[in-house]
Structure formats: structure tokens, C-alpha cells
Amino acid sequence: MTDASTDAGEPAGGYRTEIRRVAVIGTGVIGASWASLALARGLDVTACDPAPGAEERLRATVARQWPALTAIGLAAGASPARLRFVAEPEAAVAGADFVQENGPERLEIKRATYRRLDAAAPPDVVLATSSSGLTPSAIQTACRHPGRVVLGHPFNPPHLVPLVEVLGGERTHEGAVAAAMAVYAGLGKRPIRLKRELVGHVANRLQAALWREAFHLVGAGAASVADIDAAISHGPGLRWALMGPCLLNHLSGGPGGLAHTLDHLGPLMEAMWADLGDPRLTPELKDALVRGLGAELAGRDADAMLAERDAILIDLVRRKREAANLP
């Protein structure tokens, strides 16, 4: 495809950071969650999705998520009534101060969508994609104003989990990245600035490293699916909810901190790295994982489990926000 980029520089007044209306393009699981969050922060939301029945599903999802957002705390003026649904993306972005796109993970669709968004949105409005696998560099080639295209990748569900990964592409302006960071912080998110375009970004790659060894251990017969899940959720996962791996290693080192941990446990770490598995998702491994999960969930109410997960997650996020000394 021919590069359509013609942007020469940032808008004279910079990119918008004070926002009143958010455009949500694509209202599946992630888009609907973004819409709920923006509404809960007292903003107007204009949404668009071409799928049949999308408006009805979106409004039902917002209603279902509203009690959790109420428990977290609503901003002044927050209301599901501030949601408007339109048929075309041009109408959604025309009056928007920020755009969050959540369409299918197919580059040709993304580029076609961004060509339309870029033509209709004011030049000082940031266009952010929730993409898990595509890069802003690949997407922004469809735009005449590529400098405003950023990655704003959330962790599911965005209305509850604070993390959002922010990244600019090859042609993204620094001001657009800074504006996106400010907007997400204003929504109550915990944005992190990524410095390189990578497959899966950062958080998903960290997850993938754990999945790789977990699935290897199942395939090797080292432990059951249920016990592997318990090893994380009743062990290091409890600490990981509060601190990242680098800080935890620092605390493990006592007065010597991270330097002592690396010196003292470094050889063991390297020995474990050398022994980690390299599994393939063969039919046999997939079957073992699915059967193991079925055994783990036997007799449990799936809806009740999800409700308990969300209730504890809400309380955890609230407590973390109140903790003055946690990073």
C-alpha cells in the first residue's frame, strides 16, 4: 500500500488532553468496557460498530458493568444516558476529543478504518488503537495525519484493570504520546510508556513467558492444571498484584537489595532458565490442558466465580490506589 502520510508537524496548539467526549470505534468486549469506563468518568461517549445488534449489546453491557463502576466510584455527572450510538465512524469522531478504536485485528481493516477516522476527526485529536498485535507504525500509513496515531493497549477488562500500554509508531509525534498518557491517567488508568514496537507489546509477552512454562509443565506431567493455577494464584500471584518482578527481587535481597539477589540467586536463575521448556500446542497438549481445566472447574458456578473475581479485583484496585508507597 502507498504511504498516505503527509503530516509535517504537531498541531500548533498541541493535542487535546482536556476531554469531554470520547469516540469508541468498535464495541465488542474491549470497546464496550472502554465505553463504560469513560461514562463512569463523567464523559460523553459516541460509539460506532457495524455489527447487527451492536447498540443493544453495548447498552446491555454498560448496564451490567455499571454496578461495579459505581462501587469503584463515579465521577460527577456520570451516567449511561450520556452514551450515543451512531451508524458511521465519521459521525462518531466529528465532535470527539479523543478516539479509542477497538476493531478486528486485521491490518487491512485497521487501515481502512483509520483512513476514515483520520479524514473526519479534527487534526488535534489523538487516534488510539487497542490492538493486541498490530503496531501503530503499520496502522498509521493509512493516515494523512499519522503523527496522532498511538497504541493504547488495555488489559481486559479495561473498566476494572488500570494498566494501559502507550506506544508511538515511526511517524507518531511525541506530543500525541504525551497527550494519550495524560488522557488515560485522567480516566483513572495506569499508563506505561513503551519504547519499542514488539509483537504482543510488553504485558502480553510477560504473560506469554509464564504460559509457556505452565503449559510445558502440564505436558511434562510435572503437575496438574489445577495445581499449576494454584501455584500462581495462591503464591507469587498474590505478590505480583502489588509489586512487579524487579521490585520483588529487590525486597528479597534484604539490606543488599536487588544487587544481592542477583549475586546470590543469579546462578539458580540461570539454571532454571536453561531448563525451561519449549512446548508446542500439539493436539495432545491442548487436550490435556482442556481436560485439566474441566477437572479444576468441576462443580463450580462459572457466573459466581466471575462475580467473586470482579468483587475482589475492585477492592484490590481501590486499596492499591489508596496505598501511598506502592509504585
Residue type (1 letter), 103:
G
Helix (H, G, I), strand (E, B) or coil at 300: coil
- Residue keyed to cell 450515543: 84
Q: What is the average pLDDT value for the chain, to the nearest integer?
A: 95
pLDDT of residue 7: 77
> Which residues of the chain carry a pLDDT beneath 70?
1-5
Per-residue pLDDT tens over the stretch 207-219? 999 999 999 999 9
Residue 184's contacts (CB-CB under 8 Å, 6 or more residues apart) are 152, 164, 166, 191
Report the share of the chain in percent with pLDDT over 70: 98
Domain 21-193 sits in CATH at: 3.40.50.720
Domain 204-322 sits in CATH at: 1.10.1040.10
How far, in Å, CA of 136 to CA of 20, rounded?
25
pLDDT of residue 1: 42
What residue spans define the domains of the chain?
Answer: 21-193, 204-322
How far, in Å, CA of 230 to CA of 169, rounded?
39
Per-residue pLDDT tens over the stretch 247-260? 999 999 999 999 99
Name which of 158, 156, 159, 164 is nearest 185 in CA terms.
Answer: 164
- How would DSSP label each residue in 47-92? EE--STTHHHHHHHHHHHHHHHHHHH-PPTT--GGGEEEESSHHHH
Asked if residue 270 lies in contact with residue 281, where contact means CB atoms within 8 angstroms, the answer is no
DSSP bridge partners of 168: 150
One fold for 21-193 and 204-322: no
pLDDT of residue 80: 98
State the Cα torsion 175-177-182-184 to the nearest 10°. 150
Asked if residue 158 lies in contact with residue 128, where contact means CB atoms within 8 angstroms, the answer is no
